[in-house]
Structure 1
């Protein structure tokens, strides 16, 4: 439920808006002129105000300016008028009005504007969630020698339940790469039972390219089928 203020010098409009908004579950205060609106705003915090532009004592745009200058424009204000020009609506928006409704106001436009205004007010007044800073754990200190030794000893690639292939990284790049690729394809051949179609799908190579690559690396195709 939201606290709303309806400011309009026409009794019929005040009663109609009050009835509609009360049916929507809101609490509605009424003011028939700017003087009553000032008293109501000074005494209460509102979630939204519906403010008529043309009133006998002070017009709605002037009252909007007062609230903006005095720091009381803390809620969305929807301006209403049946005679206002586009310039008047633009001026009200520049001052801080949330929306403008032209009379006669349809039920659909009224409820939509109120819903959007209340959503804006809720977004402004809801405090941001407090997120605890993420403190990363310090990385373990590993010496350069230990890192080189760790990778230079072996790189293991699983070929089966109990089979491993070691790679010596202390050799030229091309030789190391060829050794890895050979073990890579032998692994997939063994796992796919020697099916070149499935190996081609797994590795993303065309069958012709795959055959050529395997011959180049000296991969035993019959061994893959036996495994």
Structure 2
């Protein structure tokens, strides 16, 4: 799923949005001001940002302008506010925000807006006024033309070994790809966290650092995946 950065100075809003998005399978990072948002953005580009307009140090629109001028606005940004005017929302959209959420934010509206934002391509501000050139043709994928439907199969040389059966690509390790995405993701995450628990000697502190999840989210995720942390905790965790 997506890596989402939530920027809001209200701890209640951050926790609420984090829990909702986390339950949907997203990885969530939190920032309570523009300084923390800058650090998070430079550390790793998120797939989407939920950015509050009114913050005590630097407001969200100013931060949006900063990212745009530095060429860092290459991810969808959704603005949030409970007191913004229409002019402010229009300005944010002009700078590069893809949408606007008015507080209080409902669950349905949040999920719908986030899904639409993640599905929407982001065009950098420097490119919006230019006429896009047609993309160059991609290099061919096949080294030989694919067989046409109904065409006879190529004859094999006399004495040649029969063709090997097609490789079964329906599994990724132990994970079957012929199952719903959520189930495949849960299976992968179960293997992923069991690996880190083993290699970090079940220290929840080190697993939290290694996986980039806050301890509260880590415990919740392990419980959701059915991994029993109570009997696996060590004195180091």
Aligned to 1:38: 38
Over aligned residue pairs, what C-alpha RMSD do you find? 2.4
Q: 1:111 to 1:70 in 2, by over 3 A?
A: same
> In the TM superposition, what are the counterparts of 1:197-212 in structure 2 within 5 Å?
none
**Structure with the largest fraction of helix:** 1
Measured against aligned partners, the alpha-carbon deviations of 1:5-46 in whole angstroms (never above 9, x if no partner) come to 000000000000000000000000000000100111011111
2:138 to 125, 130, 136: 130
CA distance in 2, matches of 1:109, 1:3: 19
Corresponding residue SS for 2:30: strand
CA distance in 1, matches of 2:93, 2:14: 23
CA distance in 2, matches of 1:93, 1:49: 14
Corresponding residue SS for 2:120: helix
CA distance in 1, matches of 2:3, 2:137: 25
Q: 1:122 to 1:76 in 2, by over 3 A?
A: closer
Q: 1:123 to 1:89 in 2, by over 3 A?
A: closer
Q: 1:61 to 1:128 in 2, by over 3 A?
A: farther
CA distance in 2, matches of 1:122, 1:68: 12
Corresponding residue SS for 1:105: coil
Measured against aligned partners, the alpha-carbon deviations of 1:25-74 in whole angstroms (never above 9, x if no partner) come to 00000000001001110111110000000000000000000000001001
Unaligned ranges ≥5, structure 2: 125-134, 142-237
CA distance in 2, matches of 1:97, 1:123: 11
Q: 1:123 to 1:74 in 2, by over 3 A?
A: closer
TM-score normalised according to structure 1 size:
0.54
Aligned to 1:71: 71
CA distance in 2, matches of 1:51, 1:120: 17
Conserved? CA contact 1:47–1:121, under 8 Å: no
Query: Aligned residue pairs: how many?
Result: 131
Aligned to 2:59: 59
CA distance in 1, matches of 2:82, 2:139: 48
Q: 1:128 to 1:16 in 2, by over 3 A?
A: farther
Aligned to 1:88: 88
Corresponding residue SS for 1:18: helix
Deviating beyond 4 angstroms after TM superposition, the runs of 4 or more aligned structure 1 residues are: 121-124
Corresponding position: 1:14 with 2:11: no
Corresponding residue SS for 1:67: helix
Corresponding residue SS for 1:111: helix
Shift of 1:120: 1.3
Shift of 1:130: 3.4
